[in-house]
Structure 1
Amino acid sequence: MNEKIKLIIVDDEYLERNLLKNCIEWDKLDIEIVGEASNADEALKLIEQNRPDIIFTDINMPVMNGLKFSKMVKEKYPEIKIVVVTGFDDFQNAQKSIKMGISDFIVKPISDDEVYKSVLKLKEQIEKRRSDNEEYSALRRQFLENLPYIREKFYNELILGEFDEKKEYEHMMFLGINLRGNFYQVAAIECIQETAENEETRFLNTIQLLNKARSFFRGMIVFLDTMSRIIVINNDENTDLYEKCEGFMDKNMDADICIGVGTIKDKLNQISISYKEALEALNYKVAVGRNSVILHSNIRASGKKIYEDTESLTEELTFSIKSRLTDKAIAAADAILDSIDIKSEGAVKAIRIAVGNIAALCLKTLLESGKDIDFIYKENIRVNSEVMKISTMPEAREYVKALIKETIDISNSVNQHKISDMVQEVKKYIDEHYNDHNLSLTSVAGKMYLNPSYLSRTFKKEAGMSFIEYLTSVRMEKAMELLRKDEYRAFEVAELVGIPDANYFCSCFKKYYGVNVSDFKRADKKA
């Protein structure tokens, strides 16, 4: 329901006031007479209390005439419509009053029709003004509601360098943006969300971090760029943006984020340069890892290709893994990763390719070492999945380091089983051929297709005694069994256990058991 138009009548004569009150049906025009006054002082009090839309006033009044009164009202309340009621003799003065902003004048004696026409004209003007005010208020509300988005659009134009500096100062004033002076620096915050379930989750996580940033970086401009990165513009030379970013990182260690900081600029139109530097620094997260604050001025220039030829490094890595030289293998893998230009656009893909190749080499080594194919197949699926999650150089180095260590540990384990089996086979051969006079380390190595030095070293490490010590122990224990039967003489026993020289046999027996053959036989008979 529209608000009624309020009217006040000012005249020192009661009959004139009454005549105006009754000359037309005010209610039908949605006009309410909210008060009447006999002089200007009373009228001013009524105006203060009721704030009318229309005033009917006589010119000739005591103390203060109608023109002076009207002038005071228009100076304080310019929106109020004033109708001057005058006698014929004051017509020329009334005309002059039009210049003061008086809306209309009526000559006494008043005519109902004249009052009606005047009031109707003023009513239309007031209603139009109200309508315009309502429309303006609605537009202003709409503008204020959209102001954050309008500002954000402006900020994005600013960081992209899409603006005319002279015009933009006016634009900033209109939007209530205060960017002055000769100190501008930009930071870009990226929320890494590789494990986010869907786009909605990623968006909500970004908005949550944006709200935290706006609270933390108070006094600075904080908004989202077109790629949903959080952008911070610092215009205060007394604030160290890099330190502030480190503080923000410390307070949000639970979030997977990275921050790039551009260099300080002294002109508004250079904000776009600081922004580009912040993005370049942000891209360097591939090198330094996540949850880092990277200052553009600390980035080293690189002229490498995205992925250099690393054939010789791959050969060195292969040899080191097969030789189980962990440190050398890790160093070779690091050299391969070092050949990648981490500032290039395809750096992450190049890192994953390199890690994938190293992983394939490790699996091939395990397969060649004797690991079963089912194990290799399952490991291949697991490794491929893990490699696709790597997005920074530190992650790649840690993964490759762990993978090489695991590969060599598994190879050692497989090799250990092989060695154990080989030593057991050698022992079995000795147990079955101890009586062969020609049995030796060299002959057994030949039978097993092994290098004699390798067999000697490996046998002693695994069995805890040398090859000849084990062979001697087998021959001596067999010799004791034969001597206890009392069927053979010493030289015959020596022959049967593979020692054709009886004297040497007796020497070995005494050294092994601490007693000579004859004393052992006598003692054994008594027992």
Structure 2
Amino acid sequence: MYRVMIVDDEAVVRNGLKNTINWSEHGFELIGDYANGREAWDAVEMYRPELVISDISMPFMDGLELAGLISAQFPYIKMIILTGYDEFEYAQQAIRLKISDFILKPITAQEIRLLLDRIRAEMDEEKKRREDLSRLNSQLEQSLPLLKERFLERLVAVGLKESEVTERFAYFNLPPVSPLYVVMVVDIDDFGNRELHSYEHDSEFLRFAAFDIFQETLEEDHVLTFRTREERMVAIIFGQDNESLLYELVFSLAEEVRYHVEKYLSFTVTIGVGRASANVEQLPISYKSALSVLDYRFLLGKNRVLSIMDIEGKPTNVMPLSLEWDRKLATAVKTGAIQEAHQLIETGVAELKAALVPVEACMLQMQKVVLSLMNSIQELAIQQQEPSIEQQIKLMNVFRFKTLDEIEVWLKEVVSAVISTITDNRNYLTNMQIHRAVEYIDTNYANEKMSLQDLCRHVLMSTSYFSLVFKQHTGETFIEYLTGVRVAKAKELLHNSNLKLYEIAEQVGYKDPNYFSILFKKHSGITPKDYRDKQIKGSGA
């Protein structure tokens, strides 16, 4: 029997429905009738009926408001709305509230009986589906592999009591385990040169293929395999009472997995082998040590089998690279010594590897190097070419690399780019300084006392460096360029003015007219007087 209640503010309607319908004949038990939605809601909360038949227009709380509360808190309760309003908007609200039926008054007893039969048939079908044990068992069977994986993951990550392990092993039909135990963790390095754009080569397919090889290789009675939520592959190897023989077996299996993945899938994995455990409850110790040894891929490289036994006991130098190394790298970058900078990076990486410095300390050192490079750009680069905030953040993202070798390659690329930027900017600044020097000469050529020292102070350069770059940019020394400017100005005055020769000499920076004449002839091939006469004759002609 399904429980049903009636809600209507008209007593005649309630009494008519109660007395004209044989509720049990249609599979229902009438548990009450109520005059408004508020009373009905209290009863719904208390009795939880399967069906509510309600008027739409009532005091205190109408039928749609009642339907909204029921839909929100008891969505399994079906509801039929009775109304005398033939309004489309009511029908729309009824649909949104998932009301089973929306009936216009007046309604006959026969119509109510047919409606109840239809609703009961729907509820019977729903009940049948919910109670369909074969369907539930089928769903459970489909879920068992995932449930088993989550159980095994919990077993190694958190640990379980031996009694619970025995019970769960029986439930999942797992073979009984016995000491000693070792956990092996396999992590895909990357997918190499494979393209991940097509279905057959997408990452999920490749991970599935790797796990298939992993399971086939470790298909032994004394091995349990599963995948973690982080997409790592894990094996629990057990049943060997001699620790040395157990490790020998584990290393052999691990190397076989590594080899087969590389050979058949053309990408690589790194495998961490944890510490041996004497009982099941200590499996988390073995698992965590296998995970920790995977971190050493960062120092030792990809495509390896790494064991906690190989790492433990080795002296580790947790000190980062020296300040002297930082200073030398910064100097090499600022001076544009790219080969020296690359050699320093290689040396630094080799030192970090040899000392087995923890990953965190390595990352901190690499971030310091990146900050030093950014400071070099800010010190030497012109404002327009300083990296944007987004570029700086990208530059700092050293955590995207899995190995120190990858960071070494990346650092060399960054250093080369920084040196190129600094060189370009230095050339730009030098060009600007030479341009200022030329402007200064063109403006102050008449100053007899102009000297190289004055010019260098004006452009803020040393005399030796200025002389070198000035000759590179103009093809002349400072004196040659200044003399050329003065002679050119003198020619303009000789052609366009009636000034005396000694006056022209003084206006172009020479107090001694004779010295001016000698320089003019040396530069032009003729004396100032002959030049003027030639210009006058040319104009007359």
1:499 corresponds to which of 510, 515, 521: 510
TM-aligned CA deviation for residue 262 of structure 1: 6.1
- The total of aligned residue pairs comes to 367
Alignment check: 8 A CA contact 1:284 1:342 kept: no
TM-aligned CA deviation for residue 149 of structure 1: 8.1
1:439 corresponds to which of 450, 456, 469: 450
Which amino acid counterpart does residue 324 of structure 1 have in structure 2? G
CA distance in 2, matches of 1:485, 1:374: 47
2:316 corresponds to which of 296, 304, 315: 304
| TM-score normalised to structure 1 length | 0.53
1:320 corresponds to which of 332, 357, 368: 332
CA distance in 2, matches of 1:444, 1:301: 66
CA distance in 2, matches of 1:461, 1:324: 19
1:410 corresponds to which of 412, 416, 421: 421
Residue in 2 that maps onto 1:292: 303
Which amino acid counterpart does residue 232 of structure 2 have in structure 1? R
Residue in 2 that maps onto 1:230: 233
Residue in 1 that maps onto 2:341: 329
1:190 corresponds to which of 179, 187, 190: 187
Residue in 1 that maps onto 2:43: none
2:476 corresponds to which of 449, 465, 472: 465
CA distance in 1, matches of 2:420, 2:436: 24
Residue in 2 that maps onto 1:245: 258
| SS of the residue 2:498 aligns to | coil
TM-aligned CA deviation for residue 432 of structure 1: 1.4
CA distance in 1, matches of 2:273, 2:300: 17
Residue in 2 that maps onto 1:105: none
Alignment check: 8 A CA contact 1:284 1:294 kept: no
2:403 corresponds to which of 382, 392, 397: 392
Relative to structure 1, the CA distance from residue 496 to residue 452 in structure 2 (aligned partners, 3 Å threshold; closer, same or farther) is: same
Residue in 1 that maps onto 2:218: 220
- Which whole-Å deviations, capped at 9, do the CAs of 1:401-449 have from their partners, x for residues lacking one? 2332232322233322322221111111111111222212122223444
**Does residue 352 of the first structure (1) align with residue 375 of the second (2)?**
no
**Does residue 368 of the first structure (1) align with residue 379 of the second (2)?**
yes
- Which whole-Å deviations, capped at 9, do the CAs of 1:445-500 have from their partners, x for residues lacking one? 23444321122122222334322222122111112112223624544433322233
TM-aligned CA deviation for residue 286 of structure 1: 0.2
| SS of the residue 1:218 aligns to | helix
Relative to structure 1, the CA distance from residue 491 to residue 356 in structure 2 (aligned partners, 3 Å threshold; closer, same or farther) is: same
Relative to structure 1, the CA distance from residue 468 to residue 486 in structure 2 (aligned partners, 3 Å threshold; closer, same or farther) is: same
Alignment check: 8 A CA contact 1:351 1:396 kept: no
Unaligned residue ranges in structure 2 (runs of 5+): 1-136, 191-201, 220-224, 238-247
- Which whole-Å deviations, capped at 9, do the CAs of 1:258-298 have from their partners, x for residues lacking one? 322769x9xxx9x9999999767633320244x52346699
TM-aligned CA deviation for residue 397 of structure 1: 1.8
Alignment check: 8 A CA contact 1:433 1:439 kept: yes
CA distance in 1, matches of 2:468, 2:314: 49
Residue in 2 that maps onto 1:453: 464
Report the more deviating stretch, 275-284 or 393-402: 275-284
Alignment check: 8 A CA contact 1:258 1:282 kept: no
1:483 corresponds to which of 491, 494, 502: 494
% identity of equivalent residues: 20
Which amino acid counterpart does residue 432 of structure 2 have in structure 1? D
Alignment check: 8 A CA contact 1:191 1:206 kept: no
Give RMSD over aligned pairs: 5.4
| SS of the residue 2:340 aligns to | helix
1:56-205 alignment runs, 5 A limit: 188-191=185-188
| SS of the residue 2:186 aligns to | strand
Relative to structure 1, the CA distance from residue 246 to residue 495 in structure 2 (aligned partners, 3 Å threshold; closer, same or farther) is: farther
Alignment check: 8 A CA contact 2:213 2:260 kept: no
Which amino acid counterpart does residue 423 of structure 1 have in structure 2? I
TM-aligned CA deviation for residue 147 of structure 1: 9.4
CA distance in 2, matches of 1:261, 1:277: 8
CA distance in 2, matches of 1:144, 1:232: 22
Which amino acid counterpart does residue 338 of structure 2 have in structure 1? T
Alignment check: 8 A CA contact 1:352 1:390 kept: no
Alignment check: 8 A CA contact 1:370 1:414 kept: yes
CA distance in 2, matches of 1:470, 1:300: 72
Which amino acid counterpart does residue 451 of structure 1 have in structure 2? S
Unaligned residue ranges in structure 1 (runs of 5+): 1-138, 194-203
CA distance in 2, matches of 1:431, 1:373: 29
1:255-270 alignment runs, 5 A limit: 258-260=269-271
Alignment check: 8 A CA contact 1:288 1:392 kept: yes
| TM-score normalised to structure 2 length | 0.52
CA distance in 2, matches of 1:346, 1:496: 74
Which amino acid counterpart does residue 189 of structure 1 have in structure 2? V
TM-aligned CA deviation for residue 374 of structure 1: 10
TM-aligned CA deviation for residue 245 of structure 1: 2.1
Residue in 2 that maps onto 1:209: 207
- Which whole-Å deviations, capped at 9, do the CAs of 1:169-227 have from their partners, x for residues lacking one? xx9xxx89899xxxx9996420369xxxxxxxxxx967962554324763533544797
Relative to structure 1, the CA distance from residue 409 to residue 384 in structure 2 (aligned partners, 3 Å threshold; closer, same or farther) is: closer
TM-aligned CA deviation for residue 368 of structure 1: 2.4
- Which whole-Å deviations, capped at 9, do the CAs of 1:326-355 have from their partners, x for residues lacking one? 3333444455555546886941x3233222
CA distance in 1, matches of 2:152, 2:429: 71
CA distance in 2, matches of 1:192, 1:358: 25
- Which whole-Å deviations, capped at 9, do the CAs of 1:349-378 have from their partners, x for residues lacking one? 323322222222222222223543994561
| Structure having the higher Rg | 1
Relative to structure 1, the CA distance from residue 352 to residue 154 in structure 2 (aligned partners, 3 Å threshold; closer, same or farther) is: closer
| SS of the residue 1:453 aligns to | helix
CA distance in 2, matches of 1:243, 1:360: 43
CA distance in 2, matches of 1:362, 1:310: 16
Report the more deviating stretch, 509-518 or 369-378: 369-378
Relative to structure 1, the CA distance from residue 373 to residue 475 in structure 2 (aligned partners, 3 Å threshold; closer, same or farther) is: closer
Relative to structure 1, the CA distance from residue 245 to residue 404 in structure 2 (aligned partners, 3 Å threshold; closer, same or farther) is: same
